[in-house]
Chain A
Amino acid sequence: MTTRAPRHRESTPSTAELAISTRGLRKTYLNRKGRHVAVAGLDLDVPLGGVHGFLGPNGSGKTTTIRMLLGLIRADAGTMSIFGREVPRHLPEVVGRVGAIVESPKFFPAFSGRKNLQLLAEAIGRPKGIVDEILEQTGLGERGKDKYRTYSLGMKQRLAIAATLLKEPDLLIFDEPTNGLDPAGIREIRNTMRSLGEQGRTVLVSSHLLDEVEQVADTVSIIGHGRLLASGPVAELIGDQTATSIRVGVSDLVAAQRILTDGGLLVRHEGGLLVVEGVTDGAEITKRLAAHELFVNELTPVRADLESVFLELTADEGLETAGVA
């Protein structure tokens, strides 16, 4: 099911089938410049299981939404539920099933990684032994005894993931998890998220990085200015964007371009190929070229990626796309 909110919303699954659901969620901040609407009536559904991308440019309300779900900040209006339980009222009942990293990892800098985890484990009544097990599991076994402040950003992020795993959660919420990481760290975190999703857990990953969401997420919700712009499976969302151009390989590029242009098509060079815009049917191109005894050796529909989806959606909404990679 692909939802292009608010225009194409289809039937809404019941909250019992959802890990997270929000309706009409709203949060306004007061600052020196006046009122700033961070979340403006957000309807968000995160299905159970798999990785769900929560995509939007910086300042679009992703972190605010996550904070509201976790009871860290109060919503001005709207309803939220996690595993069908209304939050924040019933958050204590479900919090044991939810692991979350909100923005950057935050622990006591003067305590070791192990000590930080031990305190959290004790607070939720988990046995002490589990801490070393999880440190090993997240590759921090060697550095567990070192002070948190000496950790690299990647290690801090791993410790934060370790902390979420203390609860053996069914739902993991990662807010911009790869911010500031080096390429190896990014790959590692993305693999971890995918692996957690494949274990049957629900992973909500908030990101402003389109390629990240495309790589790790099964489903995605795109938001801008605190509102849902679209949601659905990543593949369908991209699939919805029917190919609007076709990449053509041919021996005589100049002749082929002239023929297609004369036929009223928009053609440009890209690498050693032609890209024909505004065409969805490859047969039309092969027919025209073959009539002039030019035979194609490559014919590839150019599939829209999330970036183009996002740009289209945000253009519709008149949103800024700065910061979107």
Chain B
Amino acid sequence: MMRLTKVELRRLYSRRLTTIAVLGALVITGLMLFGAYQEAKPLSKAETTAQRAQFDQAHKDWVANGAQQVQDCLTQQAETRKTDPKADFGCNQMEPKWANWGKPEAKFAQMMPNVLLAGSYLLAFVAFLVGAGFVAAEFSSGSMANWLTFEPRRMRVYASKLVAAGLGLIPVTVALLGLLTAGSWVIVRNYASTAGTTAKVWGDLALMGGRALALAVAAAVAGAAMGVLLRHTAAVLGIAVGYLVLVEGVFGQALQGARPWLLQLNFNAWLQHGATYFIQTCKTDAQGNYNCQGVEKTLTFGHGSTYLALLVVFAVGLAALVFRRRDVS
């Protein structure tokens, strides 16, 4: 089993699709770092001058017409409060202040979880693709039959492929997550603020990184299992993209009750240790008006982790059953 896994790992790293996928992930990581730079960098002198000019103009306008604007605001607020007593138009905050102009300073502690979340999605997709292609190519090229004439114990063969897919993605995931984190740190430290990056923040980021790593490994294993089931990389990709577009994109939005079972939301719940989502609740009030309100719901970490684990176990189990019994041509 160990020997087979080592051979499979060697094959995984020798594959062109693996190289292309890792290079692609590296390029996208670079683009994400560029995005972090765009978010972190302060405004240029020209942009600051333009902003200042706009502020001066707004302030001048405020000095000339501010009192009237506040009065108008209060009048409209009072009118609205006849039907909605809690209405607050913020009339006392209308004065332009320079602090509210320009670009707020980026903070590493606030920015990094979002960067890590985006990176985790990317790596999970790459891992799924690499895992699927790794196994499906053997079926589509016919070399699986050849392989089985050397090692006919199918469950060993199957396990070695899944283990290799999972293990093989670990160094890649760790390297890219490390690059993303280190790159973001360097960018934010040079162009924005790393203040408030406490040990707790680092701890939370490390845990999130760990969960991203586990997600990538699970995605690679699930991809490999899908490769066994569908036997063509294109078929696996087609199913995956079709699912994302139709189920996650169309039906998931239309059927609110299905949202807790959508992959993306469960990914978020897993990666962010819980996730929130909104559903619309509509009702007719006493006056006969039909009102809709967005209600915030929470998807727990436990839900996300259990659901995702069950999905992976189901895919791996089903593929094992099929591979054990299926004729190989």
Whether A154 sits at the interface, judged by CB under 8 Å, is no
Chain B, 99-141, contact with A by CB distance < 8 Å: what is the 0/1 string? Answer: 0000000000000000000000000000000000000011001
Q: Are B146 and A163 in contact (CB under 8 A)?
A: yes
Question: How distant is the Cα of A74 from the Cα of B16 in the complex, in angstroms?
Answer: 34
* Distance of A73 Cα from B141 Cα, bound (Å): 18
Least Cβ–Cβ distance between B144 and chain A, in angstroms: 8
> CB-CB < 8 A to A263: which residues of B?
none
Q: List chain A residues, Cβ under 8 A from B3.
A: 122-123, 125
The reply to whether A70 and B7 form a contact with Cβ atoms under 8 Å apart is no
Q: Is the CB of A73 within 8 A of B153?
A: no
**Which chain A residues border B146 with CB–CB below 8 Å?**
102, 105-107, 120, 163
Does A243 make an interface contact (CB < 8 A)? no
Contact assessment for B152 and A100 in the assembled complex, using a CB-CB cutoff below 8 Å: no
Given A119-B11, A123-B151, are A72 and B4 also a contact pair (CB < 8 Å)? no
Q: What's the tally of chain B residues with a CB closer than 8 Å to chain A? A: 27
Residues B1-50 near A (CB distance < 8 A): 3-4, 6-7, 10-11, 14-16
**What does DSSP make chain B's interface, helix, strand, loop or mixed?**
helix
Provide the bound-state CA to CA distance between A119 and B149, in Å: 13
* Residues A72 and B329 in contact, CB atoms below 8 Å apart: yes
A122 contact set on B, CB distance < 8 A: 3, 6-7, 10
Nearest chain B residue, comparing its CB with the CB of A104: B142
Q: Does A18 contact B (CB under 8 A)?
A: no
B148 near A110: Cβ-Cβ < 8 Å = no
Residues of A within 8 A of B57 (CB): none
B148 lies within 8 A of A72 (CB)? yes
Whether A115 touches B141, Cβ cut-off 8 Å, given contacts A70-B148, A92-B152, is no
Q: Whole-angstrom distance between the alpha carbons of A111 and B19 in the complex?
A: 14
A160 to chain B: closest residue by CB: B146
Nearest 8 Cβ contacts at the A-B interface: A106-B142, A73-B327, A71-B152, A122-B7, A91-B152, A72-B328, A123-B7, A100-B149
Residues of chain B having any CB pair with chain A under 8 Å = 3-4, 6-7, 10-11, 14-16, 137-138, 141-143, 145-153, 325, 327-329
**Using a CB–CB distance below 8 Å, which chain A residues touch chain B?**
67, 70-74, 88, 91-92, 95, 98-100, 102, 104-111, 115, 119-120, 122-125, 163, 167
